[in-house]
Amino acid sequence: VLYLLAPIKMDPEMDSQLKIGFIGAGNMAYGIAKGILSGNVLPANVKVSAPSSRNFGRFQELGITVTHSNIEVVCGSDVLFVAVKPHLVQLVLSEISQHVTDRHIIVSVAAGVTLATLEELLPENSVAIRLMPNLPCVVQEGALLFARGSHAKQEDGALLRSLLHRCGLVEEGPEAWIDIHTGLSGSGVAFVYLFAEALAEGAVKMGMPSALAHSIASQTVLGAGRLLRDSGKHPAQLRSEVCTPGGTTIYGLHTLEQGGVRASTMSAVESATERARELGRKATAGSRK
């Protein structure tokens, strides 16, 4: 099966007619919604539900209708994003399942909740897709990976790709990659922020004003990431291009290696991946009680 080489077929007319629903009004729902609206989806065709009104304001600023009724969102949607905490998935799907029809595409963004669990909680033959986005979807620079359930066709995946393409990089893969993606990119964003903070604090230690140091650190991370993405070069190659014999960079890299930054980062991705798997096992156990 070819996943990463599958072409993305855009259908702006189809996207503009889709009714999109979100159950959950947290950061992931907001990031995806903002990315979708930067494409061809109309705000009038999007609806968000949550038990609390706390996060409704930012959705309303985008022109999105908000409600406390999950049923209202389901009945008015073609594509439904279930964007709640993993332990709430069973409760939400139990509430809405009788309103899910064969016209719905159910997209879960709950970390660790497997396709098997989703399909067990939904009506028979429901189209389920598991999606893991990350926070930079808010600025259309996200990294999103999805896996199709047993009843989701290739065209369902193509529709989701078309819908999400303005959110950032959108790829499809086997479900086994989703938890790894959670550790790499979902949690990895926070790892990058920690490194950016440390870069800036190093400059502050050496005498640079804090505001300037943090501004330069953020631009350094942005520029390095963009060059890495756009050049297509391996990170090690770009790193070697920055190093000159006896220069400042190789001295700094030596210090990082002494601190174990490479091993610590690999372990951080591993820990986050294992936690995602653990959340999935808990969600699966909960659905069978």
Q: How far apart, in whole angstroms, are the C-alpha atoms of residue 157 and residue 152?
A: 7
23 known member of a binding site: yes
245 known member of a binding site: no
Tokens 């936690």 map to which residue? Answer: 275
24 known member of a binding site: yes
Q: At what angle do helices 89-96 and 261-287 cross, to 10 degrees?
A: 40
6 known member of a binding site: no
112 known member of a binding site: no
28 known member of a binding site: yes
- Interacting residues of 229 by C-beta distance below 8 A, sequence separation 6+: none
- Asked whether the beta carbons of 166 and 144 are under 8 A apart, the reply is no
Q: How far is CA 103 from the centre of its chain?
A: 24
176 known member of a binding site: no
71 known member of a binding site: no
83 known member of a binding site: yes
Q: How far apart, in whole angstroms, are the C-alpha atoms of residue 254 and residue 195?
A: 16
CA distances (Å), origin 242, targets 96, 232, 235: 54, 16, 11
19 known member of a binding site: no
188 known member of a binding site: no
Binding residues: 23-28, 70, 83-86
> Which residue positions form the known binding site for NADPH?
70
- Binding-site annotation, residues for NADP(+): 23-28, 83-86
